[in-house]
Chain A
Amino acid sequence: GQNIDQPTEMTATEGAIVQINCTYQTSGFNGLFWYQQHAGEAPTFLSYNVLDGLEEKGRFSSFLSRSKGYSYLLLKELQMKDSASYLCAVREESTGGFKTIFGAGTRLFVKA
């Protein structure tokens, strides 16, 4: 079956570091994505992991452990504009090709 879990909400302070965790159970794993979604806007792509380890992209980093079914998104030097929902999504093989399953998202509140 498919199951993606991430915390519902998190709060952090401007300038700090926050880690958003995601655990998943899936078959035919083919990569994990993180998206950012501001209220009323489209989800936008942040990062992709298919091999174990850390991918760094500026203030954002994402980590994957396939054996543990675990990923995290790390946001450094938090800014007020980082207040948004962060969606963890797993790409998996399915009949007829691939599909992407999304978690419910983590709403991050950045306070001054």
Chain B
Amino acid sequence: ETGVTQTPRHLVMGMTNKKSLKCEQHLGHNAMYWYKQSAKKPLELMFVYNFKEQTENNSVPSRFSPECPNSSHLFLHLHTLQPEDSALYLCASSQEPPRQGQHQPQHFGDGTRLSIL
């Protein structure tokens, strides 16, 4: 149990489909993140939410639409994706800023493996 739960674990969709990825954290953190992980490439930060407010959009195409209804839940809505969007999508959470005297690593979910046909 990592404290960060992502669903679904695997998703196959056509380019014209609409689907959503879900992330839930049970750690009491106030910041949540979406990352894209492609083979042999660094984790790419997509979006950051802090206290439900989006604080970072890393030039992500509009076919990816995040939603953060509260500090425990994060969604990534997908629409009209391209084959190059096939990747592992990881959600993470952390406490920002870190509590005094502590370092705060990000806690990751197991990810959603997305395949675009």
Q: Do A and B bind each other?
A: yes
Nearest opposing residue in chain A for B40, CB measure: A104
Interface residues contributed by chain A, number (CB under 8 Å): 26
User: Do most interface residues of chain B lie in helix, strand or loop, or is the interface mixed?
Assistant: loop
User: Do most interface residues of chain A lie in helix, strand or loop, or is the interface mixed?
Assistant: strand
B-binding segment of A58-66, A68-76, A94-102:
A94-102
Instruction: Indicate if the CB atoms of B56 and A45 lie closer than 8 Å.
Output: no
Instruction: Indicate if the CB atoms of B40 and A8 lie closer than 8 Å.
Output: yes
Interface residue tally of chain B, by bracket?
20 to 34
Instruction: Indicate if the CB atoms of B96 and A104 lie closer than 8 Å.
Output: no
Instruction: Indicate if the CB atoms of B90 and A97 lie closer than 8 Å.
Output: no
Binding site for A on B (CB under 8 A): 2, 4, 35, 40-43, 45, 48, 50, 55-56, 90, 96-97, 103, 105-111, 113
Binding site for B on A (CB under 8 A): 4, 8, 31, 33, 35, 40-45, 48, 50, 87, 89, 94, 96-105
